A and B are shown apart, each in its own frame.
Chain A
Amino acid sequence: MTASQMPLLSAQDLARTYSIRRGMAGRVTNVRAVDGVTLTIARGETLGLVGESGCGKSTTARLVLGIERPDEGQVRFDGAPMPGSGSPGWAALRKRMQLVFQDPLSALDRRLPVGLQIREPLEIHRMGTPAEQNARVAEVMEEVGLQPHHADRHPHALSGGQRQRAVIARALVTQPDLLVCDEPISALDVSIQAQVMNLLVELQERLGMGMLFVSHDLRAVRQISHRVAVMYLGRIVEEGAPDEILHAPAHPYSQALVSAIPHPGKTARRIVLQGDPPNPADRPPGCAFHPRCPVTAMRCRTETPLLKPRPSDGRRVACHVAQGEVAPGHVGQLELS
């Protein structure tokens, strides 16, 4: 990793609130989807962002890309603040940061051959002569493992894995510095998932771009990322090296996530969290995780813990208990199975 350099991307205290109105005469509810997220990504580094539905990980991805404007906080890309959406500077940045979506079939236009779609970003950003563009499309298709004849196919004539390769090729054709992948494998079959994960790792090693890998799957995140951030209800609750988090999770939520990973020959007991995933529209006070937390203490109900290095080993974790600030509370809710 190249941590010594200035980070490629840094986001400081990002917050984003959506207003939701229900029905015609309904009241407006404010939903704080992202609530004070700080993260950095260096060149050649992959940050894995894990969490369950509604935790704000996809919103974070859009904020980082500048597709959405944060209500608070700032995104800096390559040292400069993110220009306002729609401005020429912002438009020029698009070719340097690209997005890979979850469902390749809906990310591609069904009516156009994929070759044209891979080429389109080059045309939009007026990069090179037509001949150079053709050469670049051929090159990037080879990089992602597509055959030259696939260029003439329409998306429905490709397999699921080939479609996702085409989406990745389209994202890489402008040689971006940052690639954001939002659940890029969860719509794919198991054997295809492995192909795409291998491809992403290999491309990143070869091309040296920074990558934000958003997923609900801790296994996939470990396979791909250099660093992992765990999100819960709009905040990062723990951050560290993948193996630190997988083998010795500090935050009770990370512990539950890790223990929920099904794997063959598993002997450890599973921590079963009570209750449903939280509703961002109805955020509990204090630590947002406390209603489901097996070790919650009094202080957790009133005071939101900050993400900071833990005194014992420097692990960044937002939990009063893990920080040693309070003793673990009742263990009554902890249900082992």
Chain B
Amino acid sequence: MLHYLGTRLLRATVSVVMVVTFVFIVLRMSGDPAVVIMGADAPPEAVDAFRTAWGLDQPIWVQYLSFFKAIFSGDLGQSMRDGRDAVAVVLERVPSTLALTVPAFLLNVGIGIPAGVYAALHRNTAIDRFVMVMAVTGFAMPSFILAMLLVLVFSVNLGWLPSAGQDSWLNAILPIVTMGFGGAALLARFTRSAMLEVLGQSYIRTASAKGLSWSAVVWRHALQNAAIPTVTIIGFMLGGLVAGAVVVESVFSWPGVGRLLVVSVSNRDLAVVQAIVLMIALTMVAANFVVDILYGLLDPKMQSQTRAARA
């Protein structure tokens, strides 16, 4: 298992390095930062001074190395808007975003998986069809449209819930439901097909032929096998949660990382944008790492593969 963890950790590190490189290249390719920030009509001396101050006059590989050094020392520069440390600006918004994403994720898993399992076990019944209609709707509807519909119904018409801001916990309900619904729909669809696939396998028939009751067959033999592909999707969702918060936070004016990203992009606050992009990338890599570990725990083939490789 240690060896397994080691290889996965190595893989995660490689991913991080690649992401950082990618961010570096993209930022350099989206135009000369000096010109973008100073404005096209800035005097050339001012632009040059900016370049020297930010090290943009150095050879590209020196920039690349110092970029890495800066990242690993946690220094991503200052916000160009208020001159504060970019990382600090981002970090102070993280709790707000977590307040939405963690409950939304629990909603995804807590509704999506049971709904998918139930639908698979009652295939072609009215409940199965209902679950699938909901799943397709949730999957197909962009989150901002769902968000606006929810605002229309619960804020404008019924007046039950606030539509914007962060005044009380009531403000969190609509954003959480918006984010939770789409993910639950995706997960329900996926869990259902994974479950149907497993239920068609020979070992399910073997378990029944052994004399196990149907519920024991499902609990002891089907669920763990269906969990293996489902975990992949959960990993993707986990990694995409912060990214998904961008739209929802903007619609509901929720002061989280997502909204900060939108504001910083329009202000061309590159240091903050860079910090957020890196953070999103790191959550994705971390989520993948978690998935790999879960995979190893769920699927004995993964473990013995590395065991055999070591032998």
Contacts and interface: CB of A to CB of B under 8 A. Distances in A.
Interface stretch (B68-76, B117-125, B302-310): B302-310
A190 to B, nearest CB: 23
Interface residues of B, number: 7
Contacts of B305: 22-23, 26
Contacts of B7: 23-25
Contacts of B205: none
A24 B308 contact: no
A27 interface: yes
B84 interface: no
Main secondary structure of the interface of B (DSSP, over half): helix
Contacts of A22: 305, 308-309
B11 interface: yes
Contacts, number: 19
A22 B7 CA distance: 13
Interface in A7-30: 22-27
Interface in B230-250: none
Nearest to B305: A23
Nearest to B302: A23
With a 10 A CB-CB cut-off, give which of A23, A26, A27 has the most chain B CB atoms: A23
Interface string B1-27: 000000100110000000000000000
Nearest to A28: B309
With a 10 A CB-CB cut-off, give which of B7, B308, B309 has the most chain A CB atoms: B309
Interface in A22-46: 22-27
Contacts of A24: 7, 11
Main secondary structure of the interface of A (DSSP, over half): loop
B254 to A, nearest CB: 41
A8 to B, nearest CB: 43
Contacts of B306: 23, 25-26
A31 to B, nearest CB: 14
A22 B305 CA distance: 7
A24 B11 CA distance: 10
A26 B308 contact: yes
B271 to A, nearest CB: 36
A22 B308 CA distance: 8
Contacts of B11: 24
A26 B7 CA distance: 10
Nearest to B3: A25
Nearest to A21: B309
A56 to B, nearest CB: 22
Contacts of B308: 22-23, 26
B5 to A, nearest CB: 12
A25 B7 CA distance: 7
Contacts of B10: 25
Interface in B286-311: 305-306, 308-309
Nearest to A26: B309
A23 B7 CA distance: 10
A207 to B, nearest CB: 43
Nearest to A23: B309
A26 B10 CA distance: 14
A279 B10 CA distance: 32
Contacts of A26: 305-306, 308-309
B299 to A, nearest CB: 13
B242 to A, nearest CB: 28
A208 B7 CA distance: 57
B302 to A, nearest CB: 9
A23 B308 CA distance: 9
A19 to B, nearest CB: 14
A130 B32 CA distance: 62
A26 B306 CA distance: 7
A27 B309 CA distance: 6
B310 to A, nearest CB: 8
A109 B188 CA distance: 35
Interface string A183-195: 0000000000000
Nearest to A25: B7
A309 B19 CA distance: 66
Contacts of A25: 7, 10, 306, 309
Interface string B137-173: 0000000000000000000000000000000000000
Interface in B184-220: none
By Cβ-Cβ distance, the 10 closest A-B pairs, closest first, are A26-B309, A23-B309, A22-B309, A23-B305, A23-B306, A25-B7, A22-B308, A24-B7, A22-B305, A27-B309
Interface of B: 7, 10-11, 305-306, 308-309
19 contacts: A22-B305, A22-B308, A22-B309, A23-B7, A23-B305, A23-B306, A23-B308, A23-B309, A24-B7, A24-B11, A25-B7, A25-B10, A25-B306, A25-B309, A26-B305, A26-B306, A26-B308, A26-B309, A27-B309
Given A22-B305, A23-B308, A26-B305, 15 more contacts: A22-B309, A23-B7, A23-B305, A23-B306, A23-B309, A24-B7, A24-B11, A25-B7, A25-B10, A25-B306, A25-B309, A26-B306, A26-B308, A26-B309, A27-B309
